[in-house]
Amino acid sequence: MSVRSPDRKAGFDKKVIKHAAPLQWKRTLRSYYFEGNVENPEICIESLNFHCPDDRDGCSSLHAEKRWQWQILHKNEWYNLLQRQSDLLERSFQIVDKEQVVIPALDPSNSGQHGEKLMDLLGEYNWRADFQKMVITQVNGEAIFYLRRLSTPSSGKLKNKYSSDFKWFRHENESWVEFGQCVDIHSDSITESGLPETTSHEIEKQYQKNQSRYMTVNVLNFKAKLDFFKMELTYKKSKKVISVRRRPKNDDVMYPAVWSHYIMGHVEIPEICTNTIEDKCALGNGCGRLHSDAVWQWQFMHDGVWYNLPRAQRGALERSFLDLWEDNAEIPAINPEVMGFTGVKMLSLLGKGKYLAEFDNMTMLELNRPGTNLKIRRLSTPSTVKSVDESATNFVWFFKNKGQSWEEFGCAEVVSPLTSSYDIEKCYESGKWDTMEVSIADGIFELSFTSMMLKNSNKQEEMKVRRRPECARSGEIHLRTRNQVTLSVASREFWHVKKYLFQSIVSPEIKSIKRVQNPRLWNAFNKRLDEVSSNNSTYEMLNIHTLFQWVDKNFVEDICRDKFKWKHQCEEVKSLCDRSLVFFRSAEFQHTSCPSPTVKDHRLLVFKVLVGKIRTSKGDSHPGECCSEVDNAYIPNRYVKNDKRDYCLEYIIEM
């Protein structure tokens, strides 16, 4: 009896098994996975509704929580970027005139497993995304990755509440105009063909049918050929060729909340959010502005990303910036010992040396390393020409006259009308022009917002121009001259001071306001600010307020020459705190218990006071610490100061 070998029987089967593809389990890829190489390069629209029928067996599209996801290509495989990176790209990509954006380096301590795998590809570097070439390039490096954006199907292809809306724009007159949105009043929206202008939605529908071809569109009074492959629009009569862009429109894109005490200060809208000065911003993570408890913030750029300067460094910048005569500012070195993790990070970015900031070109240079130029910028609340908010910043424009002194636009005493600082600010904030024609006492000049120069073409004269916050007026004068200057009732500075009185006095009757100018006292106060800033990093340490004190008019001259002292106070005020200086939040006369029955024998003094930490009882303070004793921790009315360096007299008011 013969036994058949199993090998003989399996001859044909062996051949089949040898060439058969190995069986693989297909799984659904999700946006929070590192791997994102999907068969169908789209976001599964059903995944947004959690009803994808192919989820269990393996969906060919990417499952995501949003209608978009950004990916990079490495060795023919697509990988998902982190959600915060994807959102950053999406926010910028929606801005039609935005061509590039910097993606900040990943934080290894806050990136998770997905981030760890990405760091193997991207490292701890900043990357610049180019939306025209669809690549990301390492900032100050040569590494490059291809970039793509996945989205749910277009609304021009599928009607669904989760479909992606796309808008089409053409580049006309140096701006991007959406198709169908620019109406010619002389044509009643009817083109030469007798048809309405082609809309963005109509173009998107045609694009979805065939993305490699073209279509004929109606643009106002003309017909044009729109080439989908080249993304160009060619007018048939004039043969003029202009660029075209297709960008998404999503209402659910969010801005992360960025605060001034964060190390990284990169924001989409370079302004301070006014809602966070006194209260909490209602938008939260939907606000694209910097959140801060102050109306200004200084930042520097490193590898394409903006970072917030620490308190001591930005304070030194601000004090010099408010002096019109200063062209630059020396920035103290980083002291990591008092700054914790912030100091370690700043040390890695800026090093141990001092920097010199140049205000004309807004850069800072490390003194010990020539060539290490970093860009700087000053963020502020929106200009008063754009916002009526109390915290808005009033900017003033100055020019350097023939006498080589700084003069505010519109303030010369001449008969002919002059261009005011407010007029210039309105033109500047509109962003529509690079130059404007201005009238000053010396004639008509052209003001360039790019070079910040005034130029008279006939006489070939040039004068420097500077834009500064309103408080720069008093700041620069404090540092230059010693005097008492009576403010004009029509001046903005007069009304700026009067605004403080409205907080505690109803309809104050003011006879005069004088600005006190004493460089010695002003410099001493600023030296104290530097000292407190360098020794402490917490926010409450520079708690500066405008406070008041009524004094006998016979004491005023002594106070202007030297510091305000305990002996200058009324007897009733002296009795409040033994041998200490007392300042009041309220400007009301009776509030300070002055013995005189009228205000005519007294003057209201307005002080800039470094309050620092507040406490309700006496206590020993640490060396370099700044403290104030108050009568109420929540709503203080009385501030007691023991250090004579913590205040500076600014104004004298006669009522």
pLDDT mean over 498-518: 82
Q: If we measure between CA atoms, which residue out of 276, 305, 303 comes closest to residue 292?
A: 276
Query: What dotted CATH number matches 395-469?
Result: 3.30.720.50
Query: What dotted CATH number matches 47-151?
Result: 3.30.720.50
Q: Is the pLDDT of residue 186 over 60?
A: no
pLDDT mean over 167-183: 85
189 confidence band (pLDDT: 50, 70, 90): very low
Quote the tokens at residue 495: 């009304």
Q: Is the pLDDT of residue 478 over 50?
A: no
| Alpha-carbon span 584 to 611, nearest angstrom | 12
Q: Is the pLDDT of residue 19 over 50?
A: no
The larger pLDDT score, comparing residue 646 to residue 592, is at 646
pLDDT mean over 101-112: 82
Q: What is the dihedral of CA 603, 607, 611, 616, to 10 degrees?
A: 10
What is the structure's pLDDT at 152? 94
* Residues 320-358 pLDDT 10s: 888 888 888 889 888 877 676 677 888 888 888 899 999
Q: Is the pLDDT of residue 283 over 70?
A: no
pLDDT mean over 254-278: 83
Quote the tokens at residue 293: 């408890």
Topology at the third CATH level for domain 166-248: 3.30.720
* Residues 621-636 pLDDT 10s: 565 567 788 888 778 8
Q: Which of 59-63, 196-200, 386-390, 454-458 has the highest mean pLDDT?
A: 59-63
A 10 A CB-CB count for 573 gives 22
Q: Which of 238-247, 269-278, 286-295, 488-497 has the highest mean pLDDT?
A: 238-247
Domains 47-151 and 166-248 share a fold: yes
Strand-pair partners of 320: none
What is the structure's pLDDT at 375? 93
pLDDT mean over 429-436: 88
477 confidence band (pLDDT: 50, 70, 90): very low
Residue 63: Cβ-neighbour burial (10 angstroms; 0-12, 13-18, 19+): buried
Residues of the chain with pLDDT > 70, as a percent, come to 83
Q: Is the pLDDT of residue 537 over 50?
A: no
* Residues 121-137 pLDDT 10s: 999 889 999 999 999 99
How many residues in total does the chain contain? Answer: 655
Q: Is the pLDDT of residue 260 over 80?
A: yes
pTM of the model: 0.58
| Alpha-carbon span 581 to 578, nearest angstrom | 9
The larger pLDDT score, comparing residue 181 to residue 71, is at 71
539 confidence band (pLDDT: 50, 70, 90): very low
Mean pLDDT of the chain: 81
Q: Is the pLDDT of residue 3 over 80?
A: no
78-87, 402-411, 594-603: which range is least confident on average? 594-603
Question: Collapsing DSSP states into helix, strand and coil, what is residue 629?
Answer: strand
Q: Is the pLDDT of residue 21 over 60?
A: no
Quote the tokens at residue 305: 């990303």
Q: Is the pLDDT of residue 620 over 80?
A: no
pLDDT mean over 508-522: 82
**Helix 311-321 vs helix 519-535: angle between axes, to the nearest 10 degrees?**
160
* Residue extents of the structural domains in the chain: 47-151, 166-248, 258-375, 395-469, 476-654
pLDDT mean over 528-549: 69
What is the structure's pLDDT at 248? 92
Query: What dotted CATH number matches 476-654?
Result: 3.90.228.10
Q: Is the pLDDT of residue 198 over 70?
A: yes
Q: If we measure between CA atoms, which residue out of 431, 331, 312 comes closest to residue 376?
A: 331
Phi, psi of 46, deg, nearest 5: -75, -20
166 confidence band (pLDDT: 50, 70, 90): very high
The larger pLDDT score, comparing residue 370 to residue 301, is at 301
| Alpha-carbon span 638 to 586, nearest angstrom | 9
Q: Is the pLDDT of residue 17 over 60?
A: no
Q: Is the pLDDT of residue 492 over 70?
A: no
